[in-house]
Amino acid sequence: MEIADAVIIGGGVIGTSIAYRLADICDKVVVVEKGEVGAQTSGSCDKAIILQSKKPGFPSKLAQASRAIYENLEDELGIPFEFKKAGGMIVIQSPEHLQFMKQFVEDQNKAGIDVKLLDRKEALEKQPCFSPHIVGSTYSREDAEVNPLLLSQAFAKASRQKGADIKTHTKVLDITCEHGRVKGVQTDKGYIATEWVINAAGPFAPAIAEMVGVELTIKPRRGVILITEKIKPIVHGNILCAQYIAAKHLTDNKGTEVPPFGIGLSLGQTKSGNLLIGGSREFVGFDKSINANILSSIAAHASQIVPSLKTVQIIRSMVGFRPYTGDGLPIIDKVPEVEGFLIAAGHEGDGIALAPITGYLVRELIERSGRHKELLEPLKLERFK
């Protein structure tokens, strides 16, 4: 029988970031991943670390704390993952969206985010690929990007260097408890006895929580992204649209019209030249079959904003499932009913941006140093009870 100080279930960007931080305080950390590292949501997503799109208040504060860690993370891990401070823009297509975005920028500035509103001419100067019919744009130089595939791999490799054991192609089948306390994890390759189990299974977290009789309301929110052939750089930084902001905050922006399939532009270009064109937001369970209307709606919306996209070849599409909690924030907490069982899941569309701070917050839950108390308070599980 294997013994570990902590077992992390899920080898996505969240699980691997946690492994990296726990390896500093535990002798033996094990990550159990049923497939490959970062092959689920963390490998089917965009690459943006956008601060300006976060809701002012606590969500913005949490994102800022995570963004600050990114500044030196490549150096710390010693493994490059294409972190780039490329800036970000939210393009505005209609006068109605301009009103909404003016207020949005004001609120973000009050929250300490460096973002400004650009008129059409200024926006086109920064991003010549934009249609001349746009109304304007926001711009923030604080927005950044990474290669998400490399990021999970980098966290995993750096964790291994600190002694963590990352078990891929190993599925968690059950969690054993005795007298209300976690005892171990049963996988399809054997049993691991442990005092701490961290549920970092992203959209699959409810099935893991069920193993200890805990109900989690995280739902998969499907997103589709189109990937183009490699072309010369035409996009600088990451581009969202004001419609995307509305779609992202759909649940609480009750007055906002819902775009079909929850579509809103998210556009970026990888280092190798492929464009990532997103995206949709739908609740269809874990259904991976894509309706052709979604693909054409995403392409049509994107080419209204960047007309030259009409002549670029789409080579494939990808589907990911955002772990959606309903209030735009993840759950990072100990489960009071089951001693030793922690949840770090539900990062929805912000898991890449929030992975660095999540590792620290889970370490804090185990260490109890009190350092990040105010960041953990709003992430408690009890807010859904």
Q: How far is the CB of 34 from ligand FAD (least distance, A)?
A: 4
| Residue 227 CB contacts under 8 Å (≥ 6 apart), including other chains | 274, 275, 276, 277, 314, 315, 316, 317, 318
Burial classification of residue 229, based on how many CB atoms lie within 10 Å of its CB (0-12 exposed, 13-18 middle, 19 or more buried): exposed
Q: How far is the CB of 172 from ligand FAD (least distance, A)?
A: 4
Asked whether the beta carbons of 127 and 235 are under 8 A apart, the reply is yes
Q: Is 316 helix (H, G, I), strand (E, B) or coil?
A: strand
Instruction: Give the tokens for residue 16.
Output: 């691997």
Q: How far is the CB of 269 from ligand FAD (least distance, A)?
A: 13
User: What does the binding site for ligand FAD look like in residue numbers (CB under 6 A)?
Assistant: 9-15, 32-35, 39-42, 44-48, 171-172, 200-204, 223, 225, 278-279, 320-323, 345, 347-353
Q: In whole angstroms, what is the distance from residue 107 CA to residue 245 CA? A: 14
Burial classification of residue 298, based on how many CB atoms lie within 10 Å of its CB (0-12 exposed, 13-18 middle, 19 or more buried): buried
Q: How far is the CB of 310 from ligand FAD (least distance, A)?
A: 22
Q: Given the complex with ligand FAD, which of 177 and 345 has the nearer CB atom?
A: 345
The residue whose two tokens read 């977290």 is: 205
Q: Given the complex with ligand FAD, which of 203 and 359 has the nearer CB atom?
A: 203
Instruction: Give the tokens for residue 162.
Output: 């600190």
Q: In whole angstroms, what is the distance from residue 15 CA to residue 27 CA? A: 17
Q: Given the complex with ligand FAD, which of 137 and 358 has the nearer CB atom?
A: 358
Q: Given the complex with ligand FAD, which of 102 and 183 has the nearer CB atom?
A: 183
Q: Is 233 helix (H, G, I), strand (E, B) or coil?
A: coil
Q: Given the complex with ligand FAD, which of 121 and 219 has the nearer CB atom?
A: 219
Q: Given the complex with ligand FAD, which of 322 and 334 has the nearer CB atom?
A: 322
Q: How far is the CB of 159 from ligand FAD (least distance, A)?
A: 14
Q: How far is the CB of 58 from ligand FAD (least distance, A)?
A: 17
